[in-house]
Amino acid sequence: MTAGPYGALLDAVRGVRWPAARRVSGATLGAHPSKLRGNSSEFSEFRPYRQGDDPRRVDWRLLARSDRAYVRLTTDRATLRTAIAVDASASMAFPLPDLTKWVRAREIAVALAAVAHAEADPVGLTIAAEAPVTLIPRARRSVIVEMIRALDATTPAGAAALAPHLTTARAPRVVVVSDLLGDVDELLAAARLRIAAGGEVIVVHVVAAEELDPPDDALLAVDPERAGLRRALDRAARDEYRRAFSTWMESTAASCRAARVRYFLAETAEPAAHVVRRVAGEAGARGR
C-alpha cells in the first residue's frame, strides 16, 4: 500500500484494536464477537441439552460429574462494516492558508479506516461536499489508498449537509468527522434513528486551536470591497467570544450524548493517532 505522507500516521496506529461496542450480526468471519452461537473455539457458556441438539456439543465430562447433559455454546466472530463521513464544507478550510481542520479530519478518517481494515472489516468513505464522494464499505487491500486519493483530491468549499449521508450509510458503525458548524439538529435526528435500529454512531468534533484561542492579530471583520477597513478583535470581544464558543461546544457535546452518540473532541493540536486511540479505546472499554 502506498500511503505517501500518511505513512508515519499509519505506523503510529498499527496494532490498535477497534472492537465493536456490542455483538455484531454479520456472518462473515472477522474479529468481533457475533450474536450468532456456533462452532468456533471460543467458549461462551453451558446450556442444558435439548432434543435436537448436536451430540458433538455435549460436554461429556460435565455429564459424568453431574449426571445431567449440557451443551457447550461458543461465540462466533464476524466482521463489522464501518462507514466514515467527512465534512468538506467551507468552514473545514479554517484557518487559511494551512487548512488545519481539514488536514486533521483527513488524517483521523484515514487512520480510523486503517485500524478497522486491519481487522478485516469492510470500510467505506463519504465526503460531504458540494460534489459528494462515496466509496461503499469494502475489505479489499486497495481501499485505504482509494480513500486517501479521494480525500486528498477534495478542497473544502460551500455548504454540505451531513445528515443525508448518515441516513444512507451502508454500515452498522458510522463515524462522522466534522466541525459541527452545519446541520447538527438534522444530523442528530438521523443518528437517533440509526441508533434505535441497532447501529452505532460516533462523532469526532474537529476544532482548530485558533477557534479555541484566537491569536492577538485576529480580525473581527474585514470588508472585501474596502481592503483598508479592518476591525481588530479587542480583548473584551475576545473574552466574550471564548465564553460563547466554550458554551456552544459544551451544549453540542451534551446534545450528542443525549442522542446516545459517542462524542469525541479533537483539537487540531492533538495528533491524529492520539484521537484514534481514544476512539478505539473507549469502544474496547464498553465492549468488556
130-148 pLDDT per residue, tens: 999 999 999 888 999 999 9
b/e string for 183-193 if b means 16 or more Cβ within 10 A? bbeebbebbee
The tens digit of pLDDT for each residue in 11-59 reads 999 999 888 766 555 544 444 445 444 544 444 556 677 776 667 667 7
Instruction: For domain 4-16+80-287, give the fold.
Output: Rossmann fold (3.40.50)
Return the domain boundaries, the chain.
Answer: 4-16+80-287, 29-78
Q: Which pTM was predicted?
A: 0.78
What's the mean per-residue pLDDT of the chain? 83
The tens digit of pLDDT for each residue in 163-202 reads 999 999 988 899 999 999 999 999 999 999 999 998 999 9
DSSP labels, the chain: ---GGGHHHHHHHTT-----SS-B---SEEEEEEEEEEEEEEEEEEEE--TTS-GGGB-HHHHHHHSS-EEEEEEEEE---EEEEEE-SGGGGPSTTTTHHHHHHHHHHHHHHHHHHHTT--EEEEEESSS-EEEEEE-STTHHHHHHHHHHT----S---SHHHHHH--SSEEEEEE---S-HHHHHHHHHHHHHTT-EEEEEEEE-HHHHS--TT-EEEE-TT-TT-EEE--HHHHHHHHHHHHHHHHHHHHHHHHTT-EEEEEETTS-HHHHHHHHHHHHHHHH-
